[in-house]
Structure 1
Amino acid sequence: MTSLVALEQQAKELLEPAHYDFFAGGAGDELAMADNEQAFRRLALLPRVLRDTTDRSIATDLLGDPSTMPVFVSPTAFHRLAHQEGERATARGVAAAGIVHIASMAATVAIDEVTTAAREVDRDARVWFQLYVQPEPEVTDELIRRAERAGCTALVVTVDSPALGHRARDDHHNFHDLPAGMYAENMRDLPGATGSGVRRIAMSTELTWDHLHRLHEKTRLPLVLKGILHPGDARLAVEHGADAILVSNHGGRQLDLAPATLDALPAITTAVAGRIPIFLDGGVRRGSDVVLALALGATAVGVGRPVLWGLTVGGAKGVTGVLDNLRAEIEHTLTLGGVATLSKLNPSLVTTRGAAR
């Protein structure tokens, strides 16, 4: 597997310009998106020496689901723009890597087909379903039922999208609809569907913490709240019964003024105080990024765009290749850092770049 920079360039050459910019772009001036990556470059790991790391293991579990490493695949939309098999290929690639796949509600393959594809590779593959709560309760209820029937083991509720972010790259290409014959398949045959039989995903300014209580009443699946950046909201998530939170700024695709997720993490770690797991995504490009996030309090870390580049270039094998490389980098970083187990990672091992000189 080539470097991610080279892999993205290969993907860019293969994709339609509008489709590449849809995947690669962010909101506004793309400040939040850029800062996600830069935040990792501002930190360094303080290694410990003369420590036996021979029997190191990075396997873990996420809400009871086993994972070969503290990494999951974050939800991203419209994978058939990247590969003809779309989310089926992604699911196979993620299953081969042995980690959790969060399937997007805006997938171009229906959730039951995604889970089936994953379990063709690994019958114990774990798939979670990302959910935008819809204004009509009956629509949300049906989406939950579909995820449950498909065998999903958690719901990831996106809470940072009362409206869509303004994305200049999409406007430049006038890319606001999928190509003919391609749909967000999870929205098929729902109340309010158009002549194609597919309903548009709606964003709503009316959603409140009360909706989380309603979700608890409708499903026994664990609920992860995706899009938490403020420590006050992290505390509220715990108080309102969230099973985990995902520190995320939507890959820089919503509020361009949002902080980098890594910068937001320490205050949220303090606010949660170990009561529920904290996940993080945004800007993760190397195994060393994963290690830094874990040291600052994350339980596991999500990757999004790198998976899309692997999918574009190599299909399912490309996805697995990206994730296998990430695993190797995590293990190598832990070895050089003198860390034998994930539980040994803590903030004392992290410094700002230049501070140790």
Structure 2
Amino acid sequence: MSENVHPKSTSLAEFEKAANEKLPEFVRTYYSHPGEGGQTYRDNCRAFKRYRLVPRNLRDVYIRDTSVTVLGSKLNLPVAIAPTSIHKLGHPEAERATARGAASMNTAMVLSSWSHFSLEQVAAAAPRGVLWFYLLFYRDRGRMKRLLERAERAGYTAIVLTVDTPLFPFSLRRKPVVYPIQFSLPNIWLDDVAPGLPGSTEHDAYLKKIVKEAATWEDVKWVKNNTRLPIVLKGILSAEDARTAMDLGVSGIYVSNHGGREQDGVPATIDVLPDIVRAVGGEAEVYLDGGVRTGTDVLKALALGARCVFIGRPALWGLACNGAEGVQRVLQIMKDELSLAMARAGCAKISDIQPSLVVHQSYYGVPPMAKY
């Protein structure tokens, strides 16, 4: 299949289809893996349909402005790229291409610690990009301090801590994983040398020695006290955790259920978003990922209080189809769809998107959707 598949793709669904046709089975499975029974994975997308738009008419929406300010950075659209791992399975340029695609649309990207390129290499590939760094919790806080300093020097503007992964996948593997390509993890291995290949028994055993699983609020407090960058907590689903985070002074609450890849049976992110927004009370910005597939989804999330949404798998579909240009095209589709949805809802700018724009289907007595 030609790499230039993206010009014909006019929706994220078409990008998903094109990527799945191109990618080998191992990669398709790795990227789409829903975790356990897949209830949460499916519900993330379905949940958006449970919210209905109540548009306002006869407003001047001839010109729309989709720009938004997120942690002080002005983005051209309120759609950014979530941290995801092993981009090299989709494209040789991996995270460098993803970062270039995001920068070309002037939006943000969260670089995973499980990146194939160092945080400096990714920053150099997209010097004008807005980059955040997802930091792992380590047993050795000296390692964490070095990574925080590197992120600051390289121009990253926020630190993301994932809080919904008390156990990493390598801790649960019953047998080694053989990846179809060889790669390294330069944001995890610093001056030490990783034994064996990623996925091997030796590699996993060493990861278990250095990574701190079951991190606590004390670890979050330590990170906040050891960097000048704002802290964003990813994986918050409860109002209680959101309030605890506010007490610690974090700058962003990122509502996420890991795309349904972690604990199955947790609520869809759009369903818990209003509770989190109320708990935060304007003291921090609130973001969301999980199931965002259309511009209308973005509009609903913003109406319910999100400052910005993040996409994970869709960015990987674009990357697999055509590298940086594919990522750019995915984001352009999202921007165009959002702009059209805003016009139809009577919103000329992001600040026009208010909670009154959306109601839950139960308001109209609509019965629950079919079972999973």
| C-alpha deviation, 1:188, in angstroms | 2.5
Q: 5+ unaligned residues in a row in structure 2: which ranges?
A: 1-8, 367-372
| C-alpha deviation, 1:217, in angstroms | 2.0
> Quick one: which of 10, 13, 28 aligns to 2:36?
28
Instruction: Give the 3-state SS of the residue equivalent to 2:287 in structure 1.
Output: strand
State the partner residue of 1:45: 53
Over 3 Å counting, the alpha-carbon distance change for 1:217 and 1:289 in structure 2 is same
> Quick one: which of 244, 260, 271 aligns to 1:263?
271
- Residue 154 of structure 1 pairs with residue 158 of structure 2: yes
Cα deviation code 1:267-293 (max 9, x no counterpart):
111111111100101110011101000
Counterpart of 2:159, as a letter, is L
> Quick one: which of 75, 85, 92 aligns to 2:83?
75
| C-alpha deviation, 1:354, in angstroms | 7.5
- Are 1:43 and 1:350, in contact at CA under 8 Å, matched by a contact in 2? yes
Segment of structure 1 superposing worse, 198-207 or 36-45: 198-207
Provide the TM-score with structure 2 as the length reference: 0.88
- Are 1:95 and 1:118, in contact at CA under 8 Å, matched by a contact in 2? yes
- Residue 10 of structure 1 pairs with residue 18 of structure 2: yes
| C-alpha deviation, 1:196, in angstroms | 7.1
Counterpart of 2:67, as a letter, is A
Segment of structure 1 superposing worse, 326-335 or 267-276: 267-276
| C-alpha deviation, 1:86, in angstroms | 0.7
Over 3 Å counting, the alpha-carbon distance change for 1:175 and 1:192 in structure 2 is closer
CA distance in 1 between counterparts of 2:236 and 2:313 reads 20
Over 3 Å counting, the alpha-carbon distance change for 1:314 and 1:175 in structure 2 is farther
State the partner residue of 1:127: 131
Mapping for residues 304-323 of structure 1, pairs under 5 Å = 304-323=312-331
Mapping for residues 176-195 of structure 1, pairs under 5 Å = 176=177, 178-179=179-180, 181-191=182-192, 193-194=194-195
- Residue 336 of structure 1 pairs with residue 344 of structure 2: yes
| C-alpha deviation, 1:179, in angstroms | 4.3
Count, aligned residues: 350
Instruction: Give the 3-state SS of the residue equivalent to 1:28 in structure 2.
Output: coil
Cα deviation code 1:122-179 (max 9, x no counterpart):
xx321110112112212222222222222111101111111136999x98xx773544
Instruction: Give the 3-state SS of the residue equivalent to 2:91 in structure 1.
Output: coil
Over 3 Å counting, the alpha-carbon distance change for 1:166 and 1:148 in structure 2 is closer
Counterpart of 2:291, as a letter, is G
Superposition CA RMSD, Å: 2.4
- Residue 252 of structure 1 pairs with residue 260 of structure 2: yes
State the partner residue of 2:357: 349
| C-alpha deviation, 1:54, in angstroms | 2.8
Equivalent pairs: percent with the same residue?
A: 39
Counterpart of 1:254, as a letter, is E
Q: 5+ unaligned residues in a row in structure 1: which ranges?
A: none
| C-alpha deviation, 1:12, in angstroms | 1.4
CA distance in 2 between counterparts of 1:226 and 1:127 reads 15
| C-alpha deviation, 1:109, in angstroms | 1.3
CA distance in 2 between counterparts of 1:55 and 1:303 reads 26
